[in-house]
Chain A
Amino acid sequence: MNGVNEDLPQIAVLGAGHVGPIVARLAAEAGYQVSIAASGDPEEIALTIQVLAPGAEPRWAADAVAKADIVVLAIPLHRFAQLEPNLLASKVVVDMMNYWPEVNGSLADFDRNDVGSSELVAQRLAGSRVVKTLNHLGYHQIDEEARHAGDRDRRALGVAGDDPAAVALVAEFVERIGFDAVPVGRLSAGRLLEPDGPVFGRPMSRADFERSLAAVAA
């Protein structure tokens, strides 16, 4: 593990289930200062984080977010409604959640074809700058496929958002934790990264990823 690089933005990961500890570990290994929170007392996740994401600090959610520049939502979408939007105001928020009714059950608020799930997330988090990424690979793929820059097996992650500065910040995060960040446009274009899209669940090189998206756009 590398030491903490104080020049990098600080990361808060919300969620300590399947996904959160993996993202926290990769971020800590990349030199980010990382805190991670579940819904309750950090003491309850302390051992889990010590073993699965060494270097990340368990905190109460409010404490983790207060210090963070980037907040990663690593919770299931059906828990999103319980998150207080004010908590995330002014933050860059990474939405790695998916609306996937076959797997997680239906949610009335998200059960529509005309907008992507991240657009609905962004509507609720009106004071935040939402960027969609990390959602289209499974947690075990994120775990296994992270590679240093230049590795020939490095995989792509699409990044979508409406705020160019936030997208740039998150793209750099994606690059540093082990993936080629591929901008796919505004948050509305992030629908290409959703469960029924061409790249979901498929680790691909940047070239294959771009080809897959171009084929859909054509």
Chain B
Amino acid sequence: MTTTTSGVRGAREQSPLSFGLDTFGDLNHENGEPVPHAQTIRNVLEQGVLAEQVGLDFFGIGEHHTDDFPMPAADVVLAAIAARTSRIHVGSAVTVLGSDDPVRVFQRFSTLNALSNGRAEVVLGRGSSIESFPLFGYDLADYEELFEEKTELFAEIMKGGRVTWSGKMRAALRDQDIVPHLDAAMPVWIGVGGSPHSVIRAARYGFNLMLAIIGGQPTRFEPFSELFRQAQARFGQSPRPIGVHSPGHVAETDEQAQGELWPAYRDIITRLGPSRGFPMPTLAFYNREVGPRGALYVGSAETVAQKIAQNLPILGASRFDLKHGMPGMSQGSLLRSIELFGTRVVPRVRELLATKAA
């Protein structure tokens, strides 16, 4: 219902298109039975290697701490993927900075950037997960303050050079050298689910903006893109890329993709609903999310490509990361989805957007 005007609309065209995959280490099932956590982690490694083989630009792993998503040490898995690839970028999706230490996060990812020859990216945020707060002894009520302060320190470290900093949530640093130093750029994104403060924060620090759109109409995030552009101009920052992270699944046909994802979606949303505030999933609700105005990218390559090509220009985004699959799906169906996403969806999106631009 809101219409916005863009004073810096040209900035939308500056970043080259890029496409990636995200996973939370979703627990795989085979023949209806869950596979061990360790096998799920090895499966993610294979997904990352395949992502490069099918031409994708980015593979992201989001930190989680539960039986459905046994993936607390994403950076370790990213390092393994980096060692078996040569071109694809690897990063978090997201790093829960509020319950982590900015110095340690920088050190782990600057190490990853070293190992991968400059292919690391960091996406900072909360995700919709909260488990890390009690696990590491933080109070959820302090979430905003923790994230604010730790982002400030992280931005200070990213400037390079010795760091002098003090705050309330962490010990102060004085003229501190933080190693390893970066020898290549390392993009930093702020993942945003609905907080305008986070949009402003990303703009202020000169970070990229990742819109996490996991439910509802993607276009309702358009004002956030506008806010990001205006805030960058206000802070004197040059325009940074905007990305979209959304869940989905690709298969040969719409029916197959929707049928493969639905039971996994139903089960995980049912289990997470009470703690994340998701309404109980019905098939009607799912179908609306899968439809052209919903947040899920599920279907044949053509269907998924059309939806991405429709939404990216509206959101002013140049990056799309598909959060592929859900807990309970087989490695085989995930690998097939990755292959279709890389070889069929992405080329088709590029084609559709080139036609639109012409």
- A-side interface residues toward B, CB under 8 Å? 16-18, 21, 25, 29, 47-48, 50-52, 54, 76, 78, 100, 102-105, 107, 138-141, 143-144, 146, 195-196, 200-202
Q: A143-B220, A144-B220 are in contact. Are A102 and B1 (CB under 8 A)?
A: no
Instruction: For the complex, give the distance between the alpha carbons of A146 and B217 in Å.
Output: 13
Q: Are A47 and B274 in contact (CB under 8 A)?
A: no
Min CB–CB distance A2 → chain B (angstroms): 12
Q: Are B216 and A141 in contact (CB under 8 A)?
A: yes
B276: chain A residues within 8 A (beta carbon): 103
Interface residues of B in 110-158 (CB under 8 A from A): 130, 133, 139-141
Q: Are A78 and B141 in contact (CB under 8 A)?
A: yes
- Cβ contact of B277, chosen from A21, A25, A201, cutoff 8 A: A201
Instruction: For the complex, give the distance between the alpha carbons of A172 and B197 in Å.
Output: 31
Q: Are A51 and B230 in contact (CB under 8 A)?
A: yes
Q: Are B195 and A18 in contact (CB under 8 A)?
A: yes
Q: Are A51 and B200 in contact (CB under 8 A)?
A: no
B17: chain A residues within 8 A (beta carbon): none
Instruction: For the complex, give the distance between the alpha carbons of A103 and B277 in Å.
Output: 7
Q: A105-B139, A105-B140, A144-B216 are in contact. Are A52 and B1 (CB under 8 A)?
A: no
Q: Are B194 and A139 in contact (CB under 8 A)?
A: yes
Question: Of all chain A residues, which has the CB nearest B227?
Answer: A51
- B-side interface residues toward A, CB under 8 Å? 1-2, 4, 130, 133, 139-141, 194-197, 199-200, 215-217, 220, 223-224, 226-227, 230-231, 234, 273-280
Min CB–CB distance B274 → chain A (angstroms): 6
Q: A76-B141, A143-B216, A201-B278 are in contact. List 8 more A-B contacts (CB 8 A).
A: A51-B226, A105-B139, A107-B141, A141-B216, A144-B220, A146-B1, A201-B279, A202-B280
Closest 3 CB pairs of A and B: A105-B140, A201-B279, A102-B275
Question: Of all chain A residues, which has the CB nearest B219?
Answer: A144
Q: Which of B130, B140, B196 has the most CB of A within 10 A?
A: B196
Instruction: For the complex, give the distance between the alpha carbons of A143 and B6 in Å.
Output: 21
B194: chain A residues within 8 A (beta carbon): 18, 139-140
Instruction: For the complex, give the distance between the alpha carbons of A201 and B280 in Å.
Output: 8
- Cβ contact of A47, chosen from B2, B217, B227, cutoff 8 A: B227
A139: chain B residues within 8 A (beta carbon): 194
Min CB–CB distance B215 → chain A (angstroms): 7
Q: Which of B194, B199, B200, B276 has the most CB of A within 10 A?
A: B194
Min CB–CB distance A185 → chain B (angstroms): 24
Q: Which of A76, A140, A141 has the most CB of B within 10 A?
A: A140
A196: chain B residues within 8 A (beta carbon): 274
